[in-house]
């Protein structure tokens, strides 16, 4: 089997699992998968969504906390791409019937007015290119059995992307986002909290990481893209009727209810 054929078949396997809500064993269980190949699978996987009419509208970061990196035995985050068919409005219904085992993470999202290209992109470059930030909820939904996978499996699965919601409050990034406090509520009760520094010391640093990683394959963060900078707290499993709200001080709130 050629390398390109293998990449295509692995992408089809993950795409089928997502569309049919049927999990699969991790790709690494029966395939030699390095980081570069995993990102090629991711690109092919996103390409299948684009072929069905979706558009790439941005990116997302995963494994942005040191604790998560240590738990996974890796030393850097991963990135994925988000598409136009992944968006939900704040206050909307999360369609559980379309998902496998969704979990929600509160994040700070960046919407870019200008491209950010590596190598050498910095948090300052990201902030200079950012039109506004907003609160976000990223719904991760791994296609692997038991929500169990390696770093390269997660990369291939597009960072466990499924859907996301952005808050309606759009704020220029003039505050110190490392100090921005996030409070997570589940069904009206506070269950967790964190500061922006939980994401690589500063959420813009995570966005810069993606710009630099994309540069290695001749790509960049594009103007108009939204970039979800990484989970600020532990994820919350969603069940019917559960409502999750993230409020980021000085930025705003975003909410989703599982239906």
Taking only the tens place, the pLDDT of each residue in 209-248 is 999 999 999 999 999 999 999 999 999 999 999 999 999 9
Strand duo 130-140 + 103-112: pairing: antiparallel
**2 band by pLDDT with thresholds 50, 70 and 90:** low
Q: Establish whether the linkage from the previous residue to 150 is cis, with ω within 30° of 0.
A: no
Instruction: Report the C-alpha gap between 221 and 200 in whole angstroms.
Output: 19
Least confident of 38-52, 67-81, 184-198: 67-81
pLDDT over 80 (residue 131): yes
Q: Phi and psi for 132 in degrees, rounded to 5?
A: -160, 165
Task: Return the closest-CA partner of residue 1 out of 37, 26, 36, 29.
Answer: 37
Task: Return the closest-CA partner of residue 134 out of 100, 101, 104, 109.
Answer: 109
pLDDT over 80 (residue 67): no
Sign of the alpha-carbon torsion through 54, 33, 220, 76: positive
Provide the CA 184 distance to its chain's centre, in angstroms: 18
Sign of the alpha-carbon torsion through 40, 44, 49, 55: positive
- Please tell me the pTM assigned to this model: 0.95
Mean pLDDT of the region 22-35: 94
Instruction: Report the C-alpha gap between 207 and 121 in whole angstroms.
Output: 9
pLDDT confidence of residue 66 = 72
**147 band by pLDDT with thresholds 50, 70 and 90:** confident
Instruction: Report the C-alpha gap between 80 and 206 in whole angstroms.
Output: 12
- With 0-12 / 13-18 / 19 or more C-beta atoms within 10 angstroms meaning exposed / middle / buried, residue 243 is middle
Count CB atoms within 10 A of the CB of residue 174.
9
Give the H/E segment covering residue 47: helix 35-51
Mean pLDDT of the region 71-82: 84
pLDDT confidence of residue 69 = 67
Of residues 79 and 4, the one with the higher pLDDT is: 79
Q: Are 116 and 98 in contact (CB under 8 A)?
A: no
| Domains, the chain | 3-258 (3.90.850.10)
Least confident of 96-110, 140-154, 191-205: 140-154
């Amino acid at each position: 089997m050629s390398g390109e054929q293998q990449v295509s078949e692995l992408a089809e396997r993950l795409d089928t699992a997502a569309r049919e809500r049927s999990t699969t064993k991790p790709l690494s269980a029966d395939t030699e998968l390095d980081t570069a190949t995993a990102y090629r699978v991711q690109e092919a996987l996103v390409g299948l969504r684009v072929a069905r009419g979706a558009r790439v509208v941005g990116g997302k970061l995963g494994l942005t906390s040191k604790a998560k990196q240590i738990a996974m035995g890796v030393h850097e985050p991963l990135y994925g791409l988000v598409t136009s068919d992944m968006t939900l409005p704040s206050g909307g219904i999360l369609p559980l019937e379309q998902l496998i085992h969704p979990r929600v993470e509160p994040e700070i999202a960046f919407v870019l007015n200008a491209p950010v290209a590596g190598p050498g992109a910095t948090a300052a470059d990201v902030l200079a290119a950012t039109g506004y930030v907003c609160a976000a909820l990223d719904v991760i939904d791994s296609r692997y059995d038991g929500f169990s996978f390696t770093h390269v499996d997660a990369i291939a699965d597009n960072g466990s992307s499924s859907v996301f919601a952005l808050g309606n409050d759009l704020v220029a990034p003039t505050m110190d986002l490392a100090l921005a406090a996030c409070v997570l509520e589940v069904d009206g009760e506070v269950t967790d909290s964190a500061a922006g520094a939980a994401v690589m010391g500063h959420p813009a640093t995570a966005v810069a990481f993606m710009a630099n990683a994309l540069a290695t394959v001749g790509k960049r963060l594009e103007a108009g893209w939204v970039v979800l900078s990484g989970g600020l707290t532990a994820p919350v499993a969603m069940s019917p009727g559960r409502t999750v709200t993230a409020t980021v001080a000085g930025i705003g709130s975003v909410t989703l209810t599982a239906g």
